[in-house]
Amino acid sequence: MPNRMSALMATFAGLGFTVVGCAGAAPPKSPAVTEASARPEPRAAAPAPQAAPASAKAAEPVKEQSAAQDEKTADEPRDGLRKASRPPMDLLTGNNVVYVFNFTGSAKGEAAKAQCESQGDPGAVRECMAAERSKIAVESVRFVKDEHGQYWWVTYNRYRGNLLKWHKVQFLPGKADADTISLSLVGKDKGIAPMPRVPAALKVELPNDYSIVIRDPEHGDMMYDAKIGLMDAE
């Protein structure tokens, strides 16, 4: 009997060790879980670039168009606003140029316009402007270099339907900068209506390639527009 009890106890002891051993061992990992944990997580998709606002897209062509218009405007001739591109003497004496008096662009013309427009009636305004214009004798001027290399300032006046050389005075080129030149007048006036006293100098302004301004002691600033080939070369 004791031997039987010993055998039973030995059997129970073996079973106890088996249960404890099973409980203490870590459960095997699932193959699916192992592969999932080893696989890198997928990257989040990069956000799609946002489209530029419609107002920004519309503004780009407008900006380019505005720049093109500004460049075009800068290239257009504008009397009195753009400097001459060549030295004054080259412009005054080159290309058989004649400078025709611009009454409305001169000081006398601006004063006459303010006076005449007060009459209201368009016909009366035109007659008034014509009457004021007729008070100024000069029609045009030239700056001529003759065959002997001498320079002449020549003014023209329309008298009884004929265009006559009113004044003709020799000059020497004086001090000049980008858009002005001083002409030293020498000798007597050889025109058909000679000045009793020839001034010592004549100042000419060249605001651009297409016009000049001469300060007249009687009429103030007088503007002239350049015309090419209007008269025969002297």
If one compares 145 and 17, the residue with the highest pLDDT of the two is: 145
Give yes or no for a contact between 208 and 226, defined as CB atoms under 8 angstroms apart.
Answer: no
Model confidence pLDDT, tens digit, residues 69-118 = 444 434 444 444 567 788 999 999 987 899 999 999 999 999 999 999 98
What pLDDT is attached to residue 162? 84
What pLDDT is attached to residue 81? 53
| Mean pLDDT value of segment 7-35 | 41
Please, what is the average pLDDT of the chain?
A: 75
Q: List domains and CATH numbers for the chain.
A: 88-103+137-228 (2.40.128)
DSSP 92-130: HHSTTEEEEEESTTSHHHHHHHHHHGGG--HHHHHHHHH
What pLDDT is attached to residue 2? 46
What pLDDT is attached to residue 232? 74
pLDDT band for 144, please (50, 70, 90 cuts). very high
| Mean pLDDT value of segment 148-170 | 91
| Mean pLDDT value of segment 206-223 | 92
Phi/psi at 24 (nearest 5 deg)? Answer: -80, -20
| Mean pLDDT value of segment 3-17 | 43
What pLDDT is attached to residue 50? 54
Model confidence at 37: pLDDT above 50:
no
Tokens of 140: 């045009």
pLDDT band for 198, please (50, 70, 90 cuts). very high
